[in-house]
A and B are shown apart, each in its own frame.
Chain A
Amino acid sequence: MFKQILYCSTANGQWSEHVPTAITDIIVQGRRFNRANNITGFLCYKGGYYLQAIEGPTEVITSLYKRICTDSRHYDVNTLLDEANLTTREFQAWSLKLASTSPVSEKVALFIDKKWPALKNNNKAALKILSIFYKAQVRSNYYNADFPSLRKVGQIEVKLLSVPTITSAQVGNHDLLDIYGHLIMRWRTFYDLLGTFRLKEYELYNLLHQLYQSDDLAIRKYQVQHANNTFRNQSKPRQSDSNFYSQLRSFFRRYV
């Protein structure tokens, strides 16, 4: 059985302008602990407050929450939701998602900024917030989870609804950066990418997997604004005719 807790608290200690200085430690330690103990959830900070959801096996969550309550990095911990005996978990894709409020929903930001005390003893509002994050997770995770087999891959429209983190090791990988750049600028189908990059299917498949290895994904408003509304299925291979682009590209390939 699973247990799920949603709480908000006031951040303690130093803030470097809008970012709590402790946040890196919290995220790094938290993810390590959560992965080891089968815990999932998210953490959100805004305007001096934290909002966190944790879920996992009942005993683990109970003891973790006791420790959280006495953690000196925050105070005034308010339990907003405490659900026990759940059969499924809601945030299974996130070990400890660092959530940004505004892309998820302006409403959440509003709650945390101004009306957050109103959340206390208000189950309905707390559930609403959870559902907003849940939807965010489902949307952001769709393309992450949906490369199950090569046979299926052909029908997939690849949209970068989430922004993966490029690691230092991946920085030298030109194809990966090319694909990333394309996904940032507009939505693509799998075959669009195949045509543009002249890769084999399994190569592209592997690259996309590498790109989406992170479990921390964020929703992108930017993509929606810049989206090309008509999807071009099975489009012909194309390269930009821009002279500057091709010169630059061959230059980089030569020197890098």
Chain B
Amino acid sequence: MSDYQKLAFVGDVGSGKSTIIRTLSEIEVVDTDKRATVDIGKEFTTIGIDYGRINFNDSMALGLYGVPGQKRYSLLWEHVNKSLWGLTLLVKFSGAPNTVDLSECLRFFDPVKTGTPFVLGLTHVDEVSNKNVSAVADILKSFLLDHELPGVVIPVNCLDRKSSMMIPYFINSMHNAKAI
């Protein structure tokens, strides 16, 4: 196995891609956040690829790539989708998640075909009750199962390092399970 691996975070506007990469990365994050020109509920938004890195030692590192989830950015998807180590879809908590962009993403990255370990991170859940989280997780799970993916939905707080680390940790577990 190569000593450099790529972990992609794909998600809609405001799902927390840049935040989680900033939380996880050990290097200064190369981000492409620009001031939003229309009101999207926040000042800055990602228009290119965010890049961060976790170094384990001198020769081993995990590259973190954040890519927008809308289909018009599929050019960036192609760039990132080469030999991925893991794929994370980030979805912002809401009563009715937007599954259309998610479908496009999944069709493109197709983790079932490539065998890439896949996790769906449910973000912005810190102030939501557990019951609501599990109800929305159910909707997302049934959506993932419709795409023949295992419905792995992990609630994640992008601002918290411990919580964010669970995503690469979990993908790592899946890799290990494949290997042994």
List residues of A whose CB falls within 8 A of some B CB. Answer: 14-21, 23-25, 27-28, 31-32, 98-103, 160, 163, 165-169, 171-172, 174, 177-178, 180-182, 184-186, 196, 214, 216, 218-223, 225, 238-245, 247-249, 251-252, 255-256
Find residues 131-162 in chain B having any chain A CB closer than 8 Å to their own CB: 131-139, 141-143, 145-146, 148-157, 161-162
Alpha-carbon separation in the docked complex, A163 to B140 (Å): 12
Return the contact of A27 from the options B117, B135, B161 (Cβ within 8 A): B135
Contact with A along B105-122 (1 / 0, CB 8 A): 000000010000100000
Q: Which residue on A lies nearest to B101, using beta carbons? A: A17
User: Does the CB pair A168–B169 fall under 8 Å?
Assistant: no
User: Does the CB pair A172–B162 fall under 8 Å?
Assistant: yes
List residues of B whose CB falls within 8 A of some A CB. Answer: 1-3, 5, 54, 56-57, 60, 62, 95-100, 112, 117, 125, 130-139, 141-143, 145-146, 148-157, 161-163, 165-166, 168-180
User: Does the CB pair A221–B148 fall under 8 Å?
Assistant: yes
Return the contact of A99 from the options B2, B60, B98, B142 (Cβ within 8 A): B142
Could you list 8 A-B pairs, sorted by A, with CB under 8 Å? A17-B99, A18-B143, A98-B135, A166-B155, A196-B180, A241-B179, A244-B5, A255-B161
Alpha-carbon separation in the docked complex, A166 to B145 (Å): 16
Cβ of B151: which chain A residues have Cβ within 8 Å of it?
A: 163, 218, 220
User: Does the CB pair B141–A185 fall under 8 Å?
Assistant: no
Alpha-carbon separation in the docked complex, A101 to B143 (Å): 10
Leading 4 A-B pairs by shortest Cβ distance: A181-B173, A100-B142, A185-B177, A16-B96
Task: Knowing that A24-B136, A165-B153 touch, tell me 18 more A-B residue pairs with CB under 8 angstroms.
Answer: A16-B98, A21-B96, A23-B139, A31-B131, A98-B135, A98-B142, A99-B142, A100-B141, A172-B162, A177-B170, A180-B170, A181-B173, A222-B148, A222-B149, A245-B1, A245-B172, A256-B161, A256-B162
Return the contact of A185 from the options B154, B156, B178 (Cβ within 8 A): B178
Q: Is the interface of B mostly helix, strand, loop or mixed?
A: helix
| A-B contacts, CB under 8 A, total | 193
Alpha-carbon separation in the docked complex, A222 to B150 (Å): 6
Cβ of B136: which chain A residues have Cβ within 8 Å of it?
A: 24
User: Does the CB pair B139–A171 fall under 8 Å?
Assistant: no
- Quick one: which of A103, A160, A185, A249 has the most chain B CB within 10 A? A185
Q: A99-B142, A223-B150 given as contacts; is B97 within 8 A of A168 (CB)?
A: no
User: Does the CB pair B139–A252 fall under 8 Å?
Assistant: no
User: Does the CB pair B97–A220 fall under 8 Å?
Assistant: no
User: Does the CB pair B132–A24 fall under 8 Å?
Assistant: yes
Alpha-carbon separation in the docked complex, A23 to B137 (Å): 12
Cβ of A19: which chain B residues have Cβ within 8 Å of it?
A: 96-97, 99, 139, 143
Q: A18-B99, A21-B96 given as contacts; is B146 within 8 A of A242 (CB)?
A: no
Return the contact of B137 from the options A99, A102, A165 (Cβ within 8 A): A165
Cβ of B96: which chain A residues have Cβ within 8 Å of it?
A: 14-16, 19-21, 23-24
Alpha-carbon separation in the docked complex, A244 to B177 (Å): 13
Alpha-carbon separation in the docked complex, A256 to B165 (Å): 7
Cβ of B60: which chain A residues have Cβ within 8 Å of it?
A: 243-244, 247
User: Does the CB pair A171–B156 fall under 8 Å?
Assistant: yes
- In the assembled complex, how far is the CB of residue B179 from the closest CB belonging to chain A, in whole angstroms? 4
Alpha-carbon separation in the docked complex, A247 to B99 (Å): 36
User: Does the CB pair A103–B145 fall under 8 Å?
Assistant: yes
Alpha-carbon separation in the docked complex, A17 to B100 (Å): 7
User: Does the CB pair B138–A252 fall under 8 Å?
Assistant: no
- In the assembled complex, how far is the CB of residue B125 from the closest CB belonging to chain A, in whole angstroms? 6
Cβ of A218: which chain B residues have Cβ within 8 Å of it?
A: 141-142, 145, 151
User: Does the CB pair B138–A255 fall under 8 Å?
Assistant: no
Cβ of A186: which chain B residues have Cβ within 8 Å of it?
A: 177-178
Alpha-carbon separation in the docked complex, A101 to B171 (Å): 28
Q: A103-B146, A252-B172, A256-B165 given as contacts; is B139 within 8 A of A167 (CB)?
A: no
